[in-house]
């Protein structure tokens, strides 16, 4: 009796399920998202057990799995919250406890909202004056290179825009199916979206020995191999990188642009960590800026989308779901299709659009809130920089753990050497060896990380991703515990 | 050669709405008005969206006070905000950190965090309690509820699981005609096929089960129908389904092995004699085996009703009788979306748990919601009266929802003129209405209608005086139009 055959019960026809593993969209079965995957579900369960009074070797679970700064104690930028509060409850515009620059911005945002309310739908592409502000921000950031507000699409976090572009681009059947190039290791939103869309994922490997650098020869290798079984059309790059944190050099960015042009690829530049750069000698170069500086041969032809968000950098406002993408050199007919596609989800959250507006339009030096804004922003970025160095140093003192410098972003992705016995045990249990490692760490120390297998890694290597977000003192404790665990683990499986 | 000359055929197949033409014209007209160009009107009345705030309805004070306090907790110092506002905000902020409760419990609990995948657990719990209360005690399990970025987002996710683009036959979804445009677009965008079933206009836009049978028959061999989508109360047509009709639909879904998608976002907007009852409740009351087997997803939102908080993007889906193995994959799918916007989740919490009698904010809350309610009831009455009094215009009773969807009996000359202009006749009518009277409504062609019939849709969740102005302009225009094309 299979699940789809009708069954007679007491003379009434009933039925097995309509929506079963067999009948459901097979692409959805291939979707995984390690950042919130099985290890996190176990962590939540353990937290529940702790609350119920179950005795454990630890009193709390430290969730260093997700890039959520506020959950780790980082404070929001006061000015931003003031403006959002004013937008939500405009009666407060009469309250003299709020600074004038906050009120000015709130009024401007409300004027752009239907019925002067953030509760009204906005245009699907996003509120016009905010798109204009985003364009101005981009121009300022990129040394004056013009940005057209019509090419800006506000979105529900950067993820929404990334998935939308992929939805637009993925087409074809069989050997003509769109291939999308993505780095290994990668942020698993990409692999999830590609699985969901039934696109072909083309992996290009970052070089761990060269600080996770990207080499064009590797891009070429991956592309040529892929051409046998799909039609490569898109190249995705995350800079600064996630999980690896590398900040690409200008030369590398130029190489990638040249490669994309030669191979006629659409470039997707995920730049959500653009303010998170810590290492000396590293600098964020926007793909757009480099593109234009390479001259009209490239800047007038390469088709590209770049993405940014309110979830990272110094704001950490993940819960607002604010973001945008800027598209370049897009065929007007295709742009019309894109505009049609985004209209289906109605509009991005207006509060997220407002938050984004503040990120691109923060207090200016002559405004009352500037000093406190700058202080808060500097403190957050300085703390992250300190923690990035601390983490790298600490992990490199542990035999069996090697850690590349955390040049940027919010994570460390150290490589762990696992004893053969542990690898064998994991394989017996049908588990990735680094999952076994991370699960044990969770059970023994209450620390939740994400195994490297969730991001992709070179065959035979193992990693984990840990955020550098916990407050410094806490982070030191976490690092120590991981060190102790690693030594124990190595001993246990020797 | 452009990379982008080839794009997803699913996206290309998505219908381009007539509305987009009207939106472009509106933009131009608004710009002209700003430049001081003289027109027969001073401003455009935009009633093309089901957006109360855009139309001039004020947000509820309690809701906005709680949001502000959550955003900027310093506001809770002192007595400025009512005590129940402060208590609620504190409770919500405690819930924000609850998901990842850490040893540094004195840290800023912040709206800025991602939440758990299905939504902040405390809010999900309260939503499930609301559902249970609403349904006369039918149990609701928080594990079956996913908060999301608006109900449309959730619907698209569930459709994503149902529509199998790799199957030999395209997946079909039975969808009402008329139906508001986003749902059919979502289906097409996923590579699915819309199978329209026509609501019966003469019978007050009633859903007739014979029509469901016909629609299903019509697609034999062309696609594999997997789901039946209903909107109750309706959009654009404002019908509220009777219990009997809902039972027929449930039996039909069971017999024909269809997954039932019940879009109930307008459940808070009911004005006529028929009361709203949820599909989940009706299903439960029909007892086993149906109550244990019919697979159902029901959708609700903070965008409609008295709250009207469309821009906050708060919605949810509740799943009933789903295969647990499939639910696991649905969960993972929602995981990759990160989490729904926290303000939208808070809006849902406030919608499902408003101030109660005795609470300090209750009186004001009651006054504000009653005002909105009585305004809409007045609006519905007036709109139907005015329209039905005009030649060539008729409107079925609006029992619920946010819109009036009157029928325009267009003269042959007008239809001809529209054809010459390369437009749908009702789009032509709407364009003229926009240009000459400054009213932006949407044409029936965007929603599906019986061949040869024409309609327009406009929002009735407006301040009464705005509706008055709208109806004045509409009747003057309509009378002139009918004269011009007689």
pLDDT in tens, A454-489: 999 999 999 999 999 999 999 999 999 999 999 999
* Separation in Å, CA of A287 to nearest CA in chain B: 18
Q: A137 with A242, same domain?
A: yes
What CATH number does the domain containing A348 carry? 3.40.640.10
Predicted pLDDT at B95: 75
Q: A478 with A440, same domain?
A: yes
pLDDT, one tens digit per residue, over B335-361 is 888 789 999 999 999 999 999 999 999
Q: B229 with B186, same domain?
A: yes
Mean pLDDT, range A158-180, rounded to an integer: 95
Cβ(A164)–Cβ(A134) below 8 Å: no
Report yes or no on B360 lying in a domain. no
The pLDDT-based confidence of B99 (bands split at 50, 70, 90) is very low
User: What whole-number distance in Å separates Cα of residue A294 and Cα of residue A304?
Assistant: 15
CA-closest candidate to residue B122, choices B84, B151, B94: B94
Put simply, whether B291 touches A (Cβ < 8 Å) is no
CB contact under 8 A, B72 and A85: yes
Predicted pLDDT at B116: 81
Cβ neighbourhood burial of A106 (10 Å; 0-12, 13-18, 19+): buried
pLDDT, one tens digit per residue, over A314-346 is 999 999 999 999 999 999 999 999 999 998 889
Report yes or no on A272 lying in a domain. yes
Domain span including residue A227: 121-360
CA-closest candidate to residue A249, choices A275, A214, A296: A214
State whether residue A179 is helix, strand or coil: strand
Q: Is A47 left (phi over 0), alpha (psi -120 to 50) or beta?
A: alpha
Q: B205 with B346, same domain?
A: yes
Report yes or no on A92 lying in a domain. no
Put simply, whether B331 touches A (Cβ < 8 Å) is no
* Separation in Å, CA of A321 to nearest CA in chain B: 6
Report yes or no on A94 lying in a domain. no
pLDDT, one tens digit per residue, over B129-141 is 999 999 999 999 9
Task: Give the number of domains in chain A.
Answer: 2
Q: A69 with A191, same domain?
A: no
DSSP A136: H
Report yes or no on A91 lying in a domain. no
Put simply, whether B57 touches A (Cβ < 8 Å) is yes
- Angle, alpha carbons B436-B441-B446 (nearest 5°): 125
User: What whole-number distance in Å separates Cα of residue B334 and Cα of residue B354?
Assistant: 28
Q: B312 with B442, same domain?
A: no
CA B269 to chain centre: 11
Which residues between 156 and 215 in chain B have a beta carbon less than 8 angstroms from any beta carbon of chain A?
156, 160-166, 182, 185-186, 189
What CATH number does the domain containing B422 carry? 3.90.1150.10
Report yes or no on B2 lying in a domain. no
Mean pLDDT over each residue of chain A, to the nearest integer: 94
Predicted pLDDT at A9: 45
Q: A351 with A436, same domain?
A: no
CA torsion through residues B474, B477, B483, B486, sign: negative
Q: A383 with A352, same domain?
A: no
Scanning every residue of chain A, which has its alpha carbon at the shortest distance from the alpha carbon of B8?
Answer: A171
Q: B322 with B266, same domain?
A: yes
Predicted pLDDT at B4: 66
CA-CA-CA-CA dihedral for A483, A489, A490, A493, to nearest 10: 180
CB contact under 8 A, A334 and B2: yes
Q: A244 with A139, same domain?
A: yes
Report yes or no on B357 lying in a domain. no
Put simply, whether A81 touches B (Cβ < 8 Å) is yes
CA B108 to chain centre: 35
What CATH number does the domain containing B208 carry? 3.40.640.10
Asked if the model's pLDDT at residue A14 lies above 80, the reply is no
CB contact under 8 A, B164 and A24: yes
Cβ(B256)–Cβ(B216) below 8 Å: yes
pLDDT, one tens digit per residue, over A61-78 is 998 998 889 888 888 999
Q: B321 with B416, same domain?
A: no
What proportion of chain B, given as a percentage, has pLDDT over 70? 96
Q: B373 with B453, same domain?
A: yes
Cβ(A352)–Cβ(A322) below 8 Å: yes
Put simply, whether B341 touches A (Cβ < 8 Å) is yes
The pLDDT-based confidence of B101 (bands split at 50, 70, 90) is very low
Q: A38 with A185, same domain?
A: no
User: What whole-number distance in Å separates Cα of residue A218 and Cα of residue A444?
Assistant: 39
pLDDT, one tens digit per residue, over B232-291 is 999 999 999 999 999 999 999 999 999 999 999 999 999 888 999 999 999 999 999 999
pLDDT, one tens digit per residue, over B418-431 is 999 999 999 999 99
Which helix (H) or strand (E) covers residue A59, if one does?
Answer: none
Predicted pLDDT at A314: 93
Q: B133 with B245, same domain?
A: yes
Report yes or no on B358 lying in a domain. no
Predicted pLDDT at A103: 98
Put simply, whether A28 touches B (Cβ < 8 Å) is yes
Residue B346 with chain A: CB contacts under 8 Å? none
Q: A225 with A280, same domain?
A: yes
Domain span including residue B478: 8-56+366-485
Predicted pLDDT at B111: 80
Q: A230 with A326, same domain?
A: yes
Q: A52 with A138, same domain?
A: no
Asked if the model's pLDDT at residue B382 lies above 80, the reply is yes
- Is the ipTM value over 0.90, yes or no? yes
The pLDDT-based confidence of B115 (bands split at 50, 70, 90) is confident
Q: Which residues contact B162 (CB under 8 A, 6 or more apart)?
A: A19, A24, A25, B171, B173, B192, B226, B227, B259
**Of the given ranges (A13-22, A188-197, B310-319), which has the lowest mean pLDDT?**
A13-22
Report yes or no on B361 lying in a domain. no
pLDDT, one tens digit per residue, over B199-221 is 999 999 999 999 999 999 999 99
CA of B313: how far to CAs of A352, B28, B162, B340, B344, in Å?
10, 28, 23, 8, 5
Domain end marker among A304, A328, A360? A360
Report yes or no on B13 lying in a domain. yes
Report yes or no on A8 lying in a domain. no
Task: Give the number of domains in chain B.
Answer: 3
pLDDT, one tens digit per residue, over B140-172 is 999 999 999 999 999 999 999 999 988 888 999
Q: B187 with B282, same domain?
A: yes
Report yes or no on B45 lying in a domain. yes
Mean pLDDT, range A255-268, rounded to an integer: 97
Report yes or no on B442 lying in a domain. yes
Report yes or no on A85 lying in a domain. no
Report yes or no on A19 lying in a domain. no
Mean pLDDT over each residue of chain B, to the nearest integer: 93
Which residues between 79 and 108 in chain B have a beta carbon less than 8 angstroms from any beta carbon of chain A?
80, 96-97, 99-104, 107-108
Predicted pLDDT at B1: 53
Phi, psi (rounded to 5 degrees) for A309? -155, 160
pLDDT, one tens digit per residue, over A16-33 is 899 999 999 999 999 998
CA-closest candidate to residue B231, choices B242, B243, B240: B240
Asked if the model's pLDDT at residue A428 lies above 80, the reply is yes
Q: A340 with A191, same domain?
A: yes
Q: A228 with A259, same domain?
A: yes
Put simply, whether A18 touches B (Cβ < 8 Å) is yes
Mean pLDDT, range A42-54, rounded to an integer: 90
Cβ(A451)–Cβ(A437) below 8 Å: yes
What CATH number does the domain containing A46 carry? 3.90.1150.10
Asked if the model's pLDDT at residue B2 lies above 80, the reply is no
Predicted pLDDT at B474: 97
Put simply, whether B37 touches A (Cβ < 8 Å) is no
């Amino acid at each position: 009796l299979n699940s789809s055959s009708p069954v007679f019960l007491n003379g009434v026809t009933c039925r097995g399920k309509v929506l079963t593993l067999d009948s459901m969209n097979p692409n959805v079965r291939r979707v995984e998202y390690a950042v919130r995957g099985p290890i996190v579900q176990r962590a939540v369960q353990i937290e529940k057990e702790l609350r119920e009074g179950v005795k454990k070797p630890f009193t709390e679970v430290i969730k260093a799995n997700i890039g959520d700064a506020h959950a780790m104690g980082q404070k929001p930028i006061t000015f931003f919250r003031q403006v959002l509060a004013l937008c939500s409850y405009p009666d407060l515009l009469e309250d003299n406890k709020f600074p004038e620059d906050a009120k000015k911005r709130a009024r401007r945002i409300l004027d752009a909202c239907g019925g002067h309310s953030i509760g009204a739908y906005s245009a699907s592409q996003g509120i016009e004056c905010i798109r204009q502000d985003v364009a101005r921000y981009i121009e300022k950031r990129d040394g004056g290179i013009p940005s057209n507000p019509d090419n800006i699409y506000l979105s529900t976090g950067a993820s929404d825009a990334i998935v939308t572009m992929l939805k637009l681009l993925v087409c074809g059947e069989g050997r003509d199916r769109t291939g999308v190039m993505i780095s290994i290791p990668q942020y698993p939103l990409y692999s999830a979206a590609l699985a969901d869309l039934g696109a072909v994922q083309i992996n290009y490997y970052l070089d761990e020995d060269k600080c996770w650098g990207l080499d064009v020869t590797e891009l070429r290798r991956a592309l040529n191999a892929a051409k046998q079984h799909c039609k490569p059309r898109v190249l995705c790059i995350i800079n600064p990188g996630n999980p690896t944190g590398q900040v690409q050099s200008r030369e590398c960015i130029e190489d990638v642009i040249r490669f994309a042009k030669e191979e006629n690829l659409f470039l997707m530049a995920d730049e959500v960590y653009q303010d998170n750069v810590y290492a000396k000698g590293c600098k964020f170069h926007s793909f757009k800026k480099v593109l234009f500086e390479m001259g009209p041969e490239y800047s007038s032809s390469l088709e590209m989308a770049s993405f940014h968000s309110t979830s990272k950098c110094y704001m950490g406002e993940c819960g607002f779901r604010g973001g945008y993408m800027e598209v370049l050199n897009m065929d007007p007919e295709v742009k019309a299709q894109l505009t049609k596609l985004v209209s289906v989800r109605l509009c991005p959250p207006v509060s997220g659009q407002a938050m984004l507006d503040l990120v691109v339009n923060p207090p200016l030096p002559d405004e009352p809130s500037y000093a406190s804004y700058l202080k808060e922003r500097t403190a957050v970025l300085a703390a992250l920089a300190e923690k990035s160095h601390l983490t790298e140093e600490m992990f490199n003192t542990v035999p069996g753990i090697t850690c590349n410098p955390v040049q940027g972003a919010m994570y460390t992705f150290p490589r762990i050497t696992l004893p053969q016995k542990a690898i064998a045990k994991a394989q017996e249990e049908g588990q990735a060896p680094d999952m076994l490692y991370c699960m044990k760490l969770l059970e023994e120390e209450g620390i939740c990380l994400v195994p490297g297998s969730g991001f992709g890694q070179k065959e035979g290597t193992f990693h984990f991703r840990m955020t550098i977000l916990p407050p410094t003192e806490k982070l030191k404790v976490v690092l120590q515990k991981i060190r102790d665990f690693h030594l124990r683990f190595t001993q246990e499986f020797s | 050669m452009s990379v982008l000359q080839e794009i997803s055929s699913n996206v290309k197949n998505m219908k381009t709405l007539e509305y987009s033409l009207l939106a472009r014209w509106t933009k131009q007209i608004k710009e002209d008005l700003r430049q001081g160009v003289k027109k027969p009107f001073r401003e455009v009345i935009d009633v093309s969206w089901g957006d109360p705030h855009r139309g001039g309805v004020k947000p509820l004070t309690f809701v906005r006070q709680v949001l502000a306090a959550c955003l900027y907790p310093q506001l809770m110092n002192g007595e400025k905000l009512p005590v129940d506002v402060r208590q609620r905000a504190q409770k919500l902020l405690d819930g924000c950190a609850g998901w990842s409760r850490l040893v540094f419990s004195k840290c800023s609990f912040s709206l800025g965090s991602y939440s758990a995948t299905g939504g902040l657990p405390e809010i999900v719990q309260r939503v499930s309690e609301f559902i249970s209360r609403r349904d006369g005690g039918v149990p609701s399990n928080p594990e079956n509820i996913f908060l999301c970025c608006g109900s449309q987002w959730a619907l698209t996710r569930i459709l994503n699981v149902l529509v199998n683009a790799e199957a030999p036959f395209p997946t079909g979804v039975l969808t009402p005609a008329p139906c508001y445009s986003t749902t059919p677009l979502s289906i097409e965008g996923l590579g699915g096929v819309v199978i329209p079933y026509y609501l019966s206009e003469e019978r007050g836009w009633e859903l007739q089960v014979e029509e469901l049978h016909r629609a299903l028959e019509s697609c034999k061999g062309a696609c594999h129908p997997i789901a039946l989508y209903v909107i109750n109360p309706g959009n654009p047509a404002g019908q509220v389904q009777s219990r009997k009709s809902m039972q027929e639909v449930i039996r039909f879904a069971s017999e024909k092995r269809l997954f039932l998608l019940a879009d109930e976002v307008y459940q808070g907007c009911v004005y006529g004699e028929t009361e709203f009852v949820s599909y989940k409740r009706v299903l439960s009351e029909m007892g086993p085996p149906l109550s244990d087997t019919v697979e159902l997803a029901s959708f609700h939102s903070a965008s409609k009703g008295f709250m009207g908080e469309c821009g906050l993007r708060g919605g949810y889906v509740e799943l009933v009788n789903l295969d647990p193995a499939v639910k696991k994959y649905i969960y993972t799918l929602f995981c990759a979306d990160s989490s729904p916007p926290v303000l939208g989740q808070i809006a849902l919490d406030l919608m499902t748990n408003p101030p109660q009698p005795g609470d300090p904010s209750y009186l004001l809350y009651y006054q504000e919601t009653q005002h909105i309610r009585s305004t809409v009831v007045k609006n519905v009455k007036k709109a139907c009266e005015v329209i039905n009094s005009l030649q060539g215009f008729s409107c079925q009773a609006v029992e619920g929802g946010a819109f009036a969807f009157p029928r325009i009996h267009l003269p042959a000359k007008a239809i001809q003129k529209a054809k010459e202009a390369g437009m749908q006749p009702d789009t032509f009518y709407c364009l003229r209405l926009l240009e000459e009277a400054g009213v932006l409504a949407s044409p029936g062609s965007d929603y599906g209608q019986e061949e040869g019939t024409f309609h327009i849709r406009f929002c009735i969740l407006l301040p009464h005086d705005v509706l008055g102005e709208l109806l004045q302009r509409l009747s003057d225009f309509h009378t002139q139009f009918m004269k011009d094309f007689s």
